[in-house]
Structure 1
Amino acid sequence: MSLRPIHAARARVYQTLRTAHLERAHEFAPAAILFTSRRYDFDERLLAGLEVVQAGRWRSAGILVRSRVRELEVNEPLMLSGARGAALAVSAVRLKAAITGRRALVVCYAIGNEDPRRLPPSRSLRQRLSHRADVALGRAVWRRLDRVAYGSDAARAVYASLMPPRDDLESRVIPALPNPCPCAAGVVRPQRVVFLGAFAERKGFPILLAAWSAVRAELPDATLVLLGTGPLTGLAEAAAAEDPRIELIVDPTREEIHRELAAASVLALPSQPAVGWREQIGLPIVEGLAHGCTVITSTETGLADWLAEAGHGVLQVPTSAGALASALAGALRRPIAPASVLTSLPEVDGRLAADSWLFGGAEPSGAGAETRDVGAEAGDARAAPA
């Protein structure tokens, strides 16, 4: 097992890595990325020019001990699947500090908006004990953080209710809103809806297909574009075969995603509650906004309040096919002007602004007026019983 040191003085340790991480890595200040597993949407072409190492939790910790890392980003404490890796990474840089006398800055970006301690009733004793251990490790990571940037008010509220209060922790809410995509045009688009993401129940995919027949009956010229892959790909293929107004692109390229979003008037992501999961932000929502789309989604996303205030459609859960059909038809008839959607966004991508603050202590200009210091609120947080 190779423990060759990484070259960068800044490192990011992730449980899973996806295309969006790699795209942003090219925009962020240089940093090495250590990760355990790949997501299905992983574009290897984006690895060029980056220092990326796939390694397990223990190997990643060993690499950090042997490296000159001065700044470390870890998965957020409420992401329990990454709690062990985050705890080991933090322990590694603390051990290094004990040896060298130089303490590393430890930060995280937090978008979790659900209490992860809720257990499905059918779990075994071993699974419950493992889950509690991960919760404890997540809290241990929380106590070692120097800075945390929240991607939504919902995330900040959840952390305030679950984690021990810390007056010494620097924190800030920087909404996870995108800046306008260069390929987006602020012009009127045809009656075209895009669904982007996993073809899965938790993403509201079956509800969308059930709602579509009512939308088509009301608006015969409307089209639905399905972009993604997942366990319900067969259902997507059957729907596209039966309805000529449904277009399907399985496992789309980044170029196809940009092209379809730029041509659509509405982005639909009606995420639904699922055991052990909640839509944190919804990357399709972010990408839809960046291209000027009107968004129809649910209250599950952490951006629900912002979207509702900006005039987008936010549905209660559980969402009925009838409610979704009505919202889609209304948005297709009277979409928000793409130019208005684009002007509602910050000049600087929210994730980039958060990264600049996490490591530099200041947001780049144009990060958005909603950026707020919530350090003073940390003392009001109260920990829920473990």
Structure 2
Amino acid sequence: MSPSRRSAVPRLPAVRLYESLRTAHLERAHQLAPASIVHRVTRYDFDESLTEGLDLVQAGPVRAAWLVARSRVRVLEVNEPLMTSSLPATALVLAALAGRRVLTRRRVTVVSYLIGNADPFASGTAPRLRTRLRRRAERVLARLVWRRLDRVVSGTDSARETYARLLGPSSPRTSAATIPALPTRHPEARGGGVRPPTVVFLGAFAERKGLPVLLAAWPAVREEHPDARLVLLGKGPLEPDARALADADDSVTVEVDPARSRIHDVLDASRVLVLWSQPSPTWREQVGLPLVEGLSHGCTAVTTTETGLADWLEAHGHVVAHGDPASSSVLAHSIGSALDAGRSADSVLADLPELDGRLAADDRLFTPELSAREDSA
């Protein structure tokens, strides 16, 4: 594979306009339709080694608009309209392309992948007038972007319903579909029968991911399941709390910022993955990358109703708690139920689609102008 190109101008006829770029995006980019990626910032987990073979352009909103308008773009993917931090850049790029169309008569197809399932415009609890006015302006801007989209794919039913409720109907010309944001079996997943009673937490050591509730619940889990083990993988502000439990309980292991290969090994040896997402006025778990990765290795998921995949998970034998997400006893009971179910990895993997949901969505978004795999073969 050729080295990565940090380009001055997007080189490919497909462009993805991202607010931020992280490792998961880079991994996906090697599988999705070939496209230049224009991004404003990189995330804390950005893995430089995964940029090989990609066409990357880092630019702020104004420069991004100028560069995309100068490019030979035919299909543009933008961040979903409910991602309010990306709206200024998206609006500027779309305005620049509208100006280019006046001069060249070339219309760009604009597409977006939707997983947002929370209301970012709610102003009832905002104490400052400036905040309330900003949110009203963001709603207007989001509706303008929403009406400009030519094709959209919703990754969850929750996202589809949220967009209809907050932004109203899309343009009559918009092609819309819903494809569940589910993984396929990971190529290195061993599968097999019932695994040892290992529970894994993967992600940010933060309150919104439910780590404090998990740490409080673990002693109760151990009382009912003395042979259970807990592995905490990630990093974040609550690392001292995680280490404190590991120091006091030899059934708990903490691994800070482990390599991707190590993450896959742990998931492939675990029976249960916990992502105990917490409700928040300003944030809601859209899908949950740890859930997707756990499923791809055959883990039984334990989660709350916050994730957009909650309905699918519950319908396919995973544990989705409807009780108080702040309750450690609810979580302890949920983990115990998943362990007692003794579900095999093979049975979890058998429920997954043959094609990764994000790849299937990408084919829908970029066809017929581009084909995800035929054009790159």
Work out whether 1:250 is the aligned partner of 2:256: yes
CA distance 1:123–1:55, shift in 2 (3 Å): farther
Work out whether 1:333 is the aligned partner of 2:340: yes
CA distance 1:363–1:152, shift in 2 (3 Å): farther
Work out whether 1:313 is the aligned partner of 2:326: no
Work out whether 1:13 is the aligned partner of 2:20: no
Task: Note the alpha carbon deviations across 1:225-255, whole angstroms, 9 max, x for none.
Answer: 1011112112112111211111111112211
Query: Does the CA-based 8 Å contact 1:58-1:88 persist in structure 2?
Result: yes
CA distance 1:364–1:333, shift in 2 (3 Å): farther
Shift of residue 185, structure 1, vs aligned partner: 1.6
Query: Does the CA-based 8 Å contact 2:32-2:372 persist in structure 1?
Result: no
Alignment partners' CA distance in 1, 2:209 and 2:7? 39
2:3 is matched with none
TM-score by length of 1: 0.91
Query: Does the CA-based 8 Å contact 1:23-1:46 persist in structure 2?
Result: yes
Work out whether 1:349 is the aligned partner of 2:353: no
Alignment partners' CA distance in 2, 1:317 and 1:174? 28
Alignment partners' CA distance in 2, 1:145 and 1:239? 48
2:172 is matched with 167
Moved more, 113-122 or 352-361: 113-122
Determine helix, strand or coil for the equivalent of 1:136. Answer: helix
1:304 is matched with 310
CA distance 1:128–1:3, shift in 2 (3 Å): farther
Query: Does the CA-based 8 Å contact 1:294-1:335 persist in structure 2?
Result: no
CA distance 1:9–1:364, shift in 2 (3 Å): closer
Alignment partners' CA distance in 2, 1:161 and 1:52? 35
Alignment partners' CA distance in 2, 1:48 and 1:307? 35
2:46 is matched with 42
Instruction: Pick from 80, 92, 98 the counterpart of residue 94 of structure 1.
Output: 98
Gaps of 5+ in 2: 1-5
2:269 is matched with 263
Instruction: Pick from 217, 220, 226 the counterpart of residue 226 of structure 2.
Output: 220
Task: Note the alpha carbon deviations across 1:110-140, whole angstroms, 9 max, x for none.
Answer: 0011111113735422232222222221111
Alignment partners' CA distance in 2, 1:329 and 1:164? 42
Work out whether 1:178 is the aligned partner of 2:183: yes
Alignment partners' CA distance in 2, 1:163 and 1:134? 11
Instruction: Pick from 102, 110, 124 the counterpart of residue 128 of structure 2.
Output: 124
Shift of residue 317, structure 1, vs aligned partner: 5.2
Shift of residue 310, structure 1, vs aligned partner: 0.1
Query: Does the CA-based 8 Å contact 2:126-2:132 persist in structure 1?
Result: no
CA distance 1:190–1:53, shift in 2 (3 Å): same
Determine helix, strand or coil for the equivalent of 1:252. Answer: coil
CA distance 1:34–1:321, shift in 2 (3 Å): same
Task: Note the alpha carbon deviations across 1:153-175, whole angstroms, 9 max, x for none.
Answer: 01001111112323221100000
2:140 is matched with 136
Work out whether 1:237 is the aligned partner of 2:237: no
Work out whether 1:52 is the aligned partner of 2:56: yes
Work out whether 1:205 is the aligned partner of 2:211: yes
Instruction: Pick from 290, 303, 310 the counterpart of residue 296 of structure 2.
Output: 290
Determine helix, strand or coil for the equivalent of 1:263. Answer: coil
Alignment partners' CA distance in 1, 2:253 and 2:229? 8
Alignment partners' CA distance in 2, 1:327 and 1:164? 37
Alignment partners' CA distance in 1, 2:208 and 2:277? 6
Query: Does the CA-based 8 Å contact 2:114-2:153 persist in structure 1?
Result: yes
Alignment partners' CA distance in 1, 2:36 and 2:293? 25
1:377 is matched with none
Shift of residue 92, structure 1, vs aligned partner: 2.2
2:68 is matched with 64
TM-score by length of 2: 0.93
Moved more, 104-113 or 323-332: 323-332
Determine helix, strand or coil for the equivalent of 2:268. Answer: helix
2:156 is matched with 152
Shift of residue 68, structure 1, vs aligned partner: 0.8
The root-mean-square deviation of aligned C-alpha atoms, in Å, is 1.8
Query: Does the CA-based 8 Å contact 1:299-1:317 persist in structure 2?
Result: no
CA distance 1:35–1:335, shift in 2 (3 Å): farther
- Percent of aligned positions with the same letter in both sequences? 53
Query: Does the CA-based 8 Å contact 1:179-1:348 persist in structure 2?
Result: yes
2:107 is matched with 103
Determine helix, strand or coil for the equivalent of 1:181. Answer: coil
Alignment partners' CA distance in 2, 1:171 and 1:43? 33
Determine helix, strand or coil for the equivalent of 1:311. Answer: coil
Gaps of 5+ in 1: 366-386
